[in-house]
Structure 1
């Protein structure tokens, strides 16, 4: 059984993000003890398939010895150094070079942080810095999308389009705007095609920029495929149409690849999968396969030139983090990128994604499921109360959360996100484990449907 001392110590001492704190005092934690491959084992000895890669991040599973060895080697040589004021380390230099080599569009420089939130927060600051250098400091409004997720810092949460990240935090900050979530199943009109839906959303963005004043709008943030918003795939023509609007109004496009980068969608970058050509790219999570905290912001040449001009004018580039370009984290990232390439990990995602999608897609016929969507190893299952009207369940009933808990009881970690369930296993998952994901999730769906009396 779970050690009462661990349970009580956790409740007494630790806060848990994205958790009902009052409920946690009653239920306590599930304490995880060890991991092997794509499986995680708790202190009761029960083993689960980690079907969410932790938080979309453990792309190489939980026991990749090469990453541990890379960290150990670097710790033995130089466990830390900062990169402020003309200092650098070899792992950071190497990682920056590699990221520029594999970037989906030409990029000029890389700036390192420790988390996706920090990377997106930094991108906002550089957007403002860029337009200040151009003599247009009033061009500073930032547009995100409803249900988009970009982090939980004050600024990154302001781009995020999820109400529970705003409520009673006095967010979003002024000058942060949001447009319609590009989820055709939920937001499309009955008489629209996907292409028409994309056109409507592009027109909405155009109208917003014009209403706000193009001289005041600086940037648009978008995940190539939306993660925490429910594993939402962009509709046909969406990014092509959106990018035309942004270019017309000289609005920068920042691609948030924190979840989609490094193989999740079947390519190195989600931008390659969905035809996105950004001015900046943020990435984290699978950059180190989550073995060390690290994020990177890739910056285009025009933005770098603005930064250079401003630092000359002011005398210094006034930004940075203590652990940016941490040599141990960079060493782990360098090894992770080698593994992705040398072991054919990313090249193998297409076949694994086809297998997982082939098993999950027929669940659209299940009485609880309205839509199954995804690509690569990133899938969302929309839970509905009425398949005809597409109406979700009353949120107070927490039906997706009940499906999540039923799957957990079956030995599968998945995640309820709004009215959807997300499944995004490590890229190293085996075919037999993919079969087990489907079996356990299907069993959980049937269990909840039976409890609701609709199976």
Structure 2
């Protein structure tokens, strides 16, 4: 590593950071993280903080998982890379595909297509959805429907199904034939409905209405996060995804469950679809599949879709899609180790238990601080929506959000700010003491505004 003076001098200059204005990064140098251990990270100044962001929803096992590091080192010695483009497989890719199918068998998954991350996985699902209908002889089914406030990545197709203008406007026009319906968000929705069950029904009706308007025979798939993550941890009523599944079945539309965040235990269940008792047609995975130790993702394909592709006798069934690093042997080795540790530690159970403790702590903070307009959580994914005024629900401004995050950091907790939301997605190895530390950091941040 270069010396400290070099890092300070060049911080924020040669890099353009994701989801940030380059000028702002040059004017206000970002934090330089140099070490991670357990649930903590240490910056260039030697300050250690509890990472309540979990990297980016993904470091479920924390920063000290020796089995993952060992698996990666051993695979680097054996075979650091080989391509799957020439009809070749590697041992780790075969093993991991088998494990993933077994893991998500309750959701009806039968095949795995490897990618390099979440955006790749969503892009793959969208392409396979269109291809599926061509194989079926229904080539007019090209459209997609998604939820407003949903987040599905940054690739052209993935950004097109995003339901937040912040991730769309600078890159429009995007993919044509993509339409959005209201999210089941009790705090802000066009129906002014605060009852979650009633809101789920209204949003489901909006889906039915959009399908009728577009024509069911033109729609390829509906895509949704079982719990909306980057949009502000919007937790639907338990009936909503089941309603969506029934509507899709009624109109012959594929259902894609975007599990990039919710897969592998974060919600308190092994997947968001399993949490709500739904079998989708495809699932998109990434993030916790390696606990962030290697960029890897997968698109899981359900039994019915797999049968259609594999029984096809025409050229339409050939997969004309892939990535240089699809099924990367080091990534798959990391994935195998991460999944073994995830299962051994029963991280979904810990996420559920610690999530209840966190929800209690956040409710107590809301009772003390008028700036908190709403608190939402499911397992170890949570959001505090900050407002300038509770009565009008006016979102807190950017300087206020920055002051809260900075004060919390000084108090020993790393937070993520997204618009007027404070997002919490800590590692799933979190302890009760760690939950208390997060609450203390939030208290310091909210008190300093």
TM bucket (normalised to shorter chain) is: over 0.9
Q: Contact 2:187 / 2:194 at 8 angstroms: preserved in 1?
A: no
Distance 2:358 2:197 in 1: 26
Number of aligned pairs?
445
Distance in 1 separating the partners of 2:352 and 2:318: 45
Structure 2 unmatched ranges of 5 or more: none
Could you tell me how far apart the structure 1 residues matched to 2:295 and 2:165 are?
27
In the alignment, the residues of structure 2 paired with residue 266 and residue 131 of structure 1 have an alpha-carbon distance, to the nearest angstrom, of: 34
CA contact (8 A) 1:188 1:194 kept: no
The superposition leaves residues 411-433 of structure 1 with CA deviations (integer Å, 9 ceiling, x where unpaired) of 21111222221111101122212
Q: Is contact 1:8-1:28 (8 Å) kept?
A: no
Task: Tell me the residue number matched to 2:391.
Answer: 388
SS of residue matched to 1:444: helix
Hey, what does 2:93 align to over in structure 1? 92
User: Helix, strand or coil: the match of 1:227?
Assistant: coil
Judge conservation of contact 2:285–2:298 (CA < 8 Å) in 1: yes
> What residue in structure 2 maps to residue 447 of structure 1?
448
Match of 1:25 in 2: 26
SS at match of 2:388: coil
Aligned to 1:452: none
Matches for 1:287-306 after TM superposition, within 5 Å: 287-306=289-308
Q: Which residue of 2 aligns with 1:64?
A: 65
Of 325, 328, 336, which aligns to 2:327? Answer: 325
Measure the CA separation in 2 of the matches of 1:4 and 1:279: 52
> CA deviation digits over 1:20-60, x for unaligned, max 9?
21111111221111111010001110111100101000111
3-state SS in 2 of match to 1:182: coil
Matches of 2:31 and 2:243, distance apart in 1: 45
Q: Distance in 2 between matches of 1:311 and 1:27?
A: 58
Q: CA deviation at 1:317?
A: 2.2
1:283 aligns with 2:270: no
| Structure 1 spans left out of the alignment, 5+ residues | 449-455
Q: Secondary structure at the match of 1:187?
A: coil
Distance apart, 1:236 and its partner CA: 4.4
Q: Confirm whether residue 378 of structure 1 aligns to residue 378 of structure 2.
A: no
Partner SS state of residue 206, structure 2: helix
Q: Distance in 2 between matches of 1:311 and 1:378?
A: 44
Structure 1 residue 401: Cα displacement: 3.5
- Change in Cα spacing, 1:348 to 1:109, as seen in structure 2 (3 Å) is same
Distance in 1, Cα, partners of 2:448 & 2:81: 50
SS of match in other structure, 2:383 = strand
| Number of the residue aligned with 1:203 | 205
1:348 to 326, 347, 350: 350
Match of 1:180 among 168, 175, 182: 182
| Counterpart Cα distance in 1 of 2:192 and 2:64 | 48
- Map of 1:127 onto structure 2: 129
Structure 1 stretch displaced more, 46-55 or 409-418: 409-418
With 120-129 and 334-343 compared, the bigger mean Cα shift is at 334-343
Q: TM-score, normalised by structure 1?
A: 0.94
Q: Secondary structure at the match of 2:158?
A: helix
SS at match of 1:108: strand
- For 2:443 and 2:146, how far apart are their aligned partners in 1? 34
Deviation at 1:267, TM superposition (A): 1.3
Map 1:32-431 onto structure 2 (within 5 A).
32-103=33-104, 104-187=106-189, 189-190=191-192, 193-309=195-311, 312-313=314-315, 316-365=318-367, 366-393=369-396, 395=397, 397-431=398-432
Deviation at 1:312, TM superposition (A): 4.1
1:4 Cα shift? 4.4
* Aligned mates of 2:296, 2:152 — CA distance in 1: 15
Q: How many Å apart are 1:399 and its aligned residue?
A: 2.9
Compared with structure 1, are the counterparts of its residues 122 and 315 closer, same or farther at alpha carbon in structure 2 (3 Å cutoff)? closer
Structure 1 residue 192 displacement after superposition: 5.1
Distance change >3 Å, CA 315–CA 389, structure 1 → 2: closer
Asked if structure 2 preserves the Cα contact closer than 8 Å seen for 1:363 and 1:372, the reply is no
Q: Do the aligned partners of 1:307 and 1:317 also contact (CA within 8 Å) in 2? A: no
Output one character per residue of 1:97-129: Cα deviation in whole Å (capped at 9) or x when no partner.
111111141112110001100000000000000
Distance in 2 separating the partners of 1:444 and 1:80? 45
